[in-house]
Amino acid sequence: MTYSDELKGRFQASLMGNYGLPPVAVSHGEGRHLTDVDGKTYLDMIGGIAVSSLGHSHPAIVEAVATQAARLAHTSNLYLHEKEVELAEKLLELAAVDGKVFLCNSGTEANEAALKLVLLAGKASGRTKIVAAEHGFHGRTLGSLSITGKAAIREPFEPLGRDVAFVPHGDTDALKAAVDDTTAAVFLEPVQGEAGVVTAAPGYLAAARELTAAHGAALVVDEIQSGFGRTGAWFAHHAEGITPDVITVAKGMGGGVPIGAAIGVGPYAEALTPGTHGSTFGGNPIACAAALAVIDTIEREHLFDSVAALGAHLEERLADEGRIAQVRGTALWRGIALTEPVAAEVVAHLAANGVLANAVRPDTVRIAPPLTITPTELAEFCDKLIAALDEVQPAPGGRP
């Protein structure tokens, strides 16, 4: 029995079953590669689900975390510290908003904070209704779950006690019909990551901005998966030239260290008053130092400059592949839609051949690799994907 097999057995015996049994027992990572406990190395094309933007064990993050841990690891929210102030200022600068920040530890917590902001701000005018998108994903805690459009993960926990209307993502007319003067907020992802990297047509977010402003409702843009470079920019919504009322971020922000934030603008920056919200670990000095190191590295190394070109290269390489129906998404964040529902088999074949990707839907392979990936590594992924397709979903009549 390998050490991986032994660990898997112990995992199943000691950890709850919500993740099923993960296929790989990871020992360590470096750059774009992960190594399992038996020494097998993998090209990491999923980056901890759009988190490890600088790759693994990046020296800047290692240095920032070690230095901060040696100096000050934790204060709680009873005291302030320099790194949380620096990070909040930097987030406001990157988002290009005049606002304020609430720091937390994850994406779902960022959306919990956003919900509190819009409900508190809407209280005076009696606004309680939330509008969100079908197939959307905002997190697993009960508030964020209540606005999550994926019925299969939400319904087992209903009733969730919120007044939420779900509309088809990208459908401006449906949004118009759903939003009125009782709406507290519309929650949208610029690109629905968990739905399979599905992008709404250009203009959708801008229309949502116009509509919410006309009705005095908040527009909350969930950039938890789409932010921090996934689309080649700090925030995907910047492409639409809009300013949301609340922006939520997490995932890639900490480069692997847990952190999240809700950024509020105007009245939403002022909605939280003493006692209305809190988190023992939110704004933790180590997590803030890691996020500052991620931001500094992206800026110093101009990492966004290359991701669009790398993404275009990937599209070109996969364009003539008959068993790929569509390559969705932008830059280095892709949903590769197959003509058959064999994504799980393709992902298993990739893993057996040293590449990690994710079957986000039965017919879609998702990739969100480190932004530092090289053209050679991207070519390796494409070669191995095509080899996996040959094996799992043979082209009728064989390969041309």
User: Which of the residues 100, 129, 251, 384 is marked catalytic?
Assistant: 251
384 among known catalytic residues: no
CB of 49 to ligand PLP, least distance (A): 6
CB of 123 to ligand PLP, least distance (A): 24
Interaction of residue 222 with ligand PLP, rule CB under 6 A: yes
Q: Which of 4, 68, 183, 225 binds ligand PLP (CB under 6 A)?
A: 225
Measured CA to CA, the distance from residue 50 to residue 255 in angstroms comes to: 9
CB of 235 to ligand PLP, least distance (A): 13
Q: Which of 42, 137, 235, 268 binds ligand PLP (CB under 6 A)?
A: 137
222 among known catalytic residues: yes
Interaction of residue 279 with ligand PLP, rule CB under 6 A: no
Q: Which two structure tokens, joined as six digits, stand for 356?
A: 């990690």
User: Which of the residues 8, 36, 137, 363 is marked catalytic?
Assistant: 137
Q: Which residue is nearest to ligand PLP (CB)?
A: 107
Interaction of residue 106 with ligand PLP, rule CB under 6 A: yes
Quickly count: other Cβ atoms within 10 Å of residue 31's Cβ.
18
Q: Which of 44, 84, 112, 189 binds ligand PLP (CB under 6 A)?
A: 189
Ordered alpha helix ranges (H), the chain: 3-14, 47-50, 59-71, 82-95, 107-123, 142-146, 151-154, 172-178, 204-215, 285-300, 304-318, 343-352, 375-392
- Name 193's Cβ contacts closer than 8 Å, sequence gap at least 6: 50, 137, 225, 226, 333, 360, 366, 368
Q: Footprint of ligand PLP on residues 347-366 (CB under 6 A)? A: none
Write the Ramachandran bin of 97: left for phi over 0, alpha for psi from -120 to 50, otherwise beta: beta
CB of 144 to ligand PLP, least distance (A): 7
Interaction of residue 368 with ligand PLP, rule CB under 6 A: no
The β-bridge partners of 99 are: 265
Task: Select 111 or 183, whichever has its Cβ closest to ligand PLP.
Answer: 111
Q: Which two structure tokens, joined as six digits, stand for 52?
A: 């490890």
Interaction of residue 285 with ligand PLP, rule CB under 6 A: no
Task: Select 224 or 246, whichever has its Cβ closest to ligand PLP.
Answer: 224
Angstrom CA distances, 312 to 112, 327, 330, stand at 36, 11, 8
Task: Select 253 or 318, whichever has its Cβ closest to ligand PLP.
Answer: 253
Q: Which of 48, 99, 193, 264 binds ligand PLP (CB under 6 A)?
A: 193
Cis peptide before 159 (omega within 30 of 0): yes
Q: Which two structure tokens, joined as six digits, stand for 242?
A: 């809009």
Measured CA to CA, the distance from residue 389 to residue 325 in angstroms comes to: 12
Q: Is 44 exposed, middle or buried (0-12, 13-18, 19+ CB in 10 A)?
A: buried
Interaction of residue 224 with ligand PLP, rule CB under 6 A: yes
Angle CA(371)–CA(376)–CA(378) in degrees, nearest 5?
50
Task: Select 135 or 384, whichever has its Cβ closest to ligand PLP.
Answer: 135
Question: In which residue are the tokens 């527009």 written?
Answer: 219
Task: Select 31 or 139, whichever has its Cβ closest to ligand PLP.
Answer: 139
Residue 94: strand, helix, or coil:
helix
Interaction of residue 145 with ligand PLP, rule CB under 6 A: no
Q: Footprint of ligand PLP on residues 45-104 (CB under 6 A)? A: 49
Residue 251: strand, helix, or coil:
helix
Q: What percent helix, strand, coil does the chain show, rounded to 5? A: 40, 20, 40
Interaction of residue 112 with ligand PLP, rule CB under 6 A: no
Write the Ramachandran bin of 191: left for phi over 0, alpha for psi from -120 to 50, otherwise beta: beta
User: Which of the residues 222, 228, 245, 381 is marked catalytic?
Assistant: 222
Angle CA(133)–CA(261)–CA(361) in degrees, nearest 5?
40
CB of 224 to ligand PLP, least distance (A): 4
Q: Footprint of ligand PLP on residues 231-260 (CB under 6 A)? A: 250
305 among known catalytic residues: no
Interaction of residue 194 with ligand PLP, rule CB under 6 A: yes
Interaction of residue 107 with ligand PLP, rule CB under 6 A: yes
Q: Give the catalytic positions in this structure.
A: 137, 222, 251
Residues lying near ligand PLP in the complex (CB under 6 A) are found at 49, 106-108, 111, 137-139, 189, 193-194, 222, 224-225, 250
